[in-house]
Amino acid sequence: MKRRTNLTDRFFFGRWLVLGFLTLLPFSAEAEWRTKQINDQSFVPLADFAAAFAMTKGNRRKGERELAFAGESHRLVVKTGTREVIVDGIRHWLSYPVTVSGGTPFVSVADINATLGPAMSPASVKEIKAVKTVVFDPGHGGHDRGGRSPYGDEKDYSLDVVNRARSLLEAQGVKVVQSRLSDSFVELSERPKMNRNYKSPVFVSVHFNSAGWKPSASGIEVYALPAPGLPTTGKAPDPILDRRRDAGNAVATASFVFASTMHHTLLGKLPESFDRGVKRARYLVLRYSEVPSILIEGAFVTNPEEAKKIHSPQWRQELAEAIAEGISAYMTLANERQLPKRAWNYNRLSTDEFVWEE
């Protein structure tokens, strides 16, 4: 698969900085913005948000609904009327569509606080604490085979990748534990409970995707729990589910930064993989986890080409190396406040096209 290009690449200087004034993030005080109520939500002019990150409007994009903003350190591409955005070269999914009112594009304050701000200024997120332990959760196991390809089962591939990533991290002196060590089934509610037994952990659930109804579906996506009150990716707001209190709510922003950091690393290390984006879901293992937690969907066992890759020990090793590096990058951010690499730092060209709303 061809790597994606970006018409605003001319703004890329090969480095990623945090400007001093951005330590004020995340933006939580609406008084700091010129807000407008749209569909019972507070929105901010998109140009105002861009200006806060020293971005100006770039060249015209492919369609009239696509808008690009860029500066020395950041790039943002949106498509009005959709929740899909490209932030610093990779795809993200907002909670509410970028909306045009009176000819002006607006972005919600909720999305500034939960997605755009933390994605561009992760070091400012106060929820991020020092990390000492990695709790791996290989998806499925035992009677739960997970997704199936002509070559094997998801449960076996996920365990193999976790074992490989664990070896890499342990060689660096990182303490690593797993929810399962063999082909056994562990109740979903029990997996994040392991976090309580270890000092300063993060939780990483590893899976492979399935879409039997659409064999062409491909690529990598990383999930984090939605912020309290916000919808999951691909679903309309739900007045009941979105307000449910989960243990993971307390670290939702840190989990998002972890997911974004991991997604940048996976795409950078696996440049031929399609960018499906950083997404939000209320998976049980994320809801029950009280520490920064992510769920990785490495590729599709139902895609003929990706199924072959997943079955390849060499490719699984490459994925394991990317996961280990993504974890190390987040730990360095958490422990040393050193910014993680972006996908473009690995020479991956920025994601360019808008694909679907899901």
Query: Using one digit for the tens of pLDDT, what is the confidence trace for 257-314?
Result: 999 999 999 999 999 999 999 999 999 999 999 999 999 999 999 999 999 999 999 9
Q: What stretches of the chain show up as alpha helix (H) in DSSP?
A: 46-52, 109-111, 117-120, 154-171, 252-269, 284-287, 304-311, 313-336
**Mean of the per-residue pLDDT values for the chain?**
91
Is 60 exceeded by the pLDDT of residue 215?
A: yes
156 Cβ contact list (under 8 Å, min separation 6)? 183
The stretch 134-151 carries a mean pLDDT of 98
Is 60 exceeded by the pLDDT of residue 1?
A: no
Is 80 exceeded by the pLDDT of residue 344?
A: yes
Is 60 exceeded by the pLDDT of residue 120?
A: yes
Q: DSSP letters of 310-341?
A: HH-HHHHHHHHHHHHHHHHHHHHHHHH-PPPP
Contact between residue 262 and residue 323 where contact means Cβ atoms under 8 Å apart: yes
> What's residue 357's pLDDT?
54
Domains and CATH numbers, the chain: 9-124 (3.30.457.10), 133-346 (3.40.630.40)
Q: DSSP letters of 186-225?
A: --GGGTGGGGGGSSSEEEEEEEEE--TT-TT---EEEEEP
The stretch 96-124 carries a mean pLDDT of 97
CA distances for 51 relative to 91, 123, 267, angstroms: 21, 19, 28
CA distances for 179 relative to 163, 192, 206, 231, 310, angstroms: 12, 8, 11, 28, 22
